[in-house]
Every structure is written in C-alpha cells, then in structure tokens.
Amino acid sequence: MKKLMIIAFLTVSNVICVAQESVLLRYKMKKGEKYQLTMTMKQDMGATGGMNMKFKFNSSIGEVNKGSYVSETKVKALSMDMLQGGNVMSYDSTKSDDELDMMGKQMKAQFAPFFKATIYTTTSSRGKVTNTEIKPNTPALNQFKDQNNSIEYPEEKVKVGSTWSDENENQGMKMKTIYTVSKITKDKVLIDVTGNVSGLGTGKITGKVVVERASGIPSSSEINVNVNAGGAEVKISTKAIMKKI
C-alpha cells in the first residue's frame, strides 16, 4: 500500500509539473534553412457556389539579424476548383496544356505571374511581419503575400491556459483572433484558436495550431471562419502544413 501511495504521488507531481511548464515561443530561423508550406483553402457559399484552392509555397531564409529574419518565398504549385453560376472552373499548375481545358488554359495565363514573383518578408522572432515586398510587383499576388503561416507570439512565456490575441483588417472585414495554450509536450505546444469577425460581415473563428518548440514554427494549423455577409452565409476553412525541407 505504501509503495502504491508513493507511485500515485509521483504520478500526480509529474502531471502538475508538466501543466505548469512555461515556454517562450519564438521563431528560431537560421540562414540557409528551407521550408515548404502547403495550404488548402475551402470556401463554401451554399447555393451561390464555392471554391477550393491548394497552394504550395517554398521559402528560404536569407538574412538573420537582431532578432528578425528575411524569407524569400515563391509559389511552387497551385490548383483551384470553383463553382460559380452553375459553371465549374478548374486549374492545376502541375498539368500540361494538353491536360487542361479551354478555361484551364485561360486561368493558367492569369496565374502565370504568380510563379515568376518572389515574396520578400521581414519577420521578427515573435512573428510580427514588419515589411513585405513582391518582386516583380504582382498586384494579383497581394492577397496571398502574408500567407507565411506565422503567428505573432506574446512577449512573455506561456503555459497551459495562457491566452493572447491579435487583430487585423482586410478589405473592410475585421478579425480578432484569440490563442489559448491547451497542452505542452516535450516537442510541441498545442494552441486552441477562437475569435470573432466584424465589419462588412459578422461571424466566429475556431481552430487549432501545433507549434514546434525547437523551431517555433506552426507545423500544422486548421482555422475555420463562419461569416454572415449581407445575409449570405460563407464558410471558410484553411488548413496548413509547414515543414523543413
């Protein structure tokens, strides 16, 4: 009985220690490292239509200086299926011209500038983007230039239950996102995501993020946004996987 009590005590003590562990979340990029971000975006507008897009971005880390780093990102692959007005339009950059229909070939011409441009992003070790440039300038790529999967981390250490938030606005739609640490393991920090949308539309944000402790990168994330805009319900789901290559 005494041994069982000791084992139980040690088990409980270990759980408490893990729960109280604090972690300083920071991006620890090194010059020359290469990463690949695969992102899937689904937009469901009900009877109005919808769109599925999949991007593959390759990034290399250039200059690293005083707690910030510069990444050079290029679009490596893109595919899209869109339903609008009863018409289905599809495009896949990995297919040859012979495999594309007429609409696919038209979309290929529209997306061609994406593959020629490089996105230069300066990011702090906390994940705050301080500068972004696209060379050559490609206006159509602006809406994707910040898709680097980064999260701006808080100044202080976090533990299970810690929360922080950020806000951004895009084309009149304001989004407040709240991050809550749900679990800390030896290698990862698991984060629950909630929030709300206001402005041109109103809605809710939910999701989960997994952060690698060694590098600070969000290795996987799934964010869902349900918005009511002008009486129309729109569901947007974004899944991302980031890995070192």
Both tokens of residue 223?
A: 């964010």
> What value does the mean pLDDT take over residues 188-204?
94
pLDDT of residue 21: 83
Q: What is the pLDDT of residue 20?
A: 64
What single DSSP character describes residue 160?
A: T
Measured CA angle at 58 (ends 176, 182), to 5 deg: 40
Span 135-182, pLDDT tens digits: 998 877 776 655 555 799 999 999 999 999 999 887 778 999 999 999
pLDDT at 3 > cutoff 70: no
In this structure, what DSSP letter does residue 24 have?
Answer: -
d(CA 88, CA 84): 7
Is residue 237 pLDDT above 70, yes or no?
Answer: yes
Look at residue 146 in the predicted model and tell me its pLDDT. Answer: 53
Decide if 152 contacts 126 (C-beta within 8 A). yes
Return the percentage of the chain with pLDDT > 90, whole number. 69
pLDDT at 201: 85
Strand partners, 25: none
**pLDDT higher at 12 or 214:** 214
**Range name among 49-58, 77-86, 138-147, 221-230 with the lowest pLDDT average:** 138-147
Beta bridge pairs of residue 96: none
The residue among 48 and 106 whose pLDDT is bigger is 106
pLDDT, one tens digit per residue, over 70-120 is 999 999 999 999 887 777 889 999 999 999 999 899 999 999 999 999 999
Query: 155-174 burial, b if ≥16 CB within 10 A, otherwise e?
Result: eeebebebebebeeeeeebe
Closest CA to 110 of 73, 80, 134: 80
Q: Give the list of residues 6+ apart from residue 109 with CB closer than 8 angstroms, or none.
A: none
pLDDT of residue 122: 94
Could you tell me which residues come within 8 angstroms of residue 188 by beta carbon, excluding any fewer than 6 positions away? 210, 211, 212, 213, 219
State whether residue 159 is helix, strand or coil.
coil
CATH architecture for the domain at 26-244: Roll (2.30)
88 vs 22: which has the higher pLDDT: 22
The domain spans of the chain are 26-244
186 DSSP 8-state letter:
S
Count of CB atoms situated within 10 Å of the CB of 184:
22
**pTM, rounded to two decimals:** 0.86
